[in-house]
């Protein structure tokens, strides 16, 4: 069971920003920006490369949830949505999740 599955099951506490039947959004414990929210599907998909065509609606829901949270968190000046895939992509938990980052000027390139 991944860290995120334990959070979803309430075995590990987290600061929840949003929850619905498809996902949970939590504040990152090591934020990389003033706003750093993780939008996590309740369905365990290890990474974006392992998502299937049946996951299209869920993936869209994750992105729209991140955008809605950005609106609620006053990120009108801009924000970044990131999905890491694999160790070289910065993946630290093998459970697909969307990072919502904002609240300051974000540099490019990010790495």
DSSP class per residue in 39-82? EEESS----GGG--GGGHHHHHHHHHHHHHHHHHTT-TT-EEEE
Are 98 and 66 within 8 A, CB to CB? Answer: yes
Assess whether 22 carries a catalytic annotation: no
The dihedral through the CA atoms of 88, 23, 9, 102 has a sign that is positive
- Give me the catalytic one of 36, 61, 95, 97: 97
* Backbone torsions φ then ψ of 37, nearest 5 degrees: -110, 140
Catalytic residue positions? 97
């Amino acid at each position: 069971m991944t860290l995120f599955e334990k959070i979803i099951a309430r075995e590990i506490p987290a600061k929840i920003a949003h929850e619905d039947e498809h996902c949970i959004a939590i504040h990152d414990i090591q934020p990389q920006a003033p706003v750093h929210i993780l939008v996590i599907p309740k369905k365990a998909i290890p990474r974006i490369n392992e998502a299937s065509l049946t996951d299209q609606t869920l993936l869209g829901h994750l992105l729209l949830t991140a955008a809605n949270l950005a609106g609620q968190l006053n990120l009108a000046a801009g924000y970044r949505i990131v999905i890491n895939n694999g160790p070289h992509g910065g993946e630290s938990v093998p459970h697909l999740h969307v990072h919502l980052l904002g609240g300051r000027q974000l540099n490019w390139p990010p790495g």
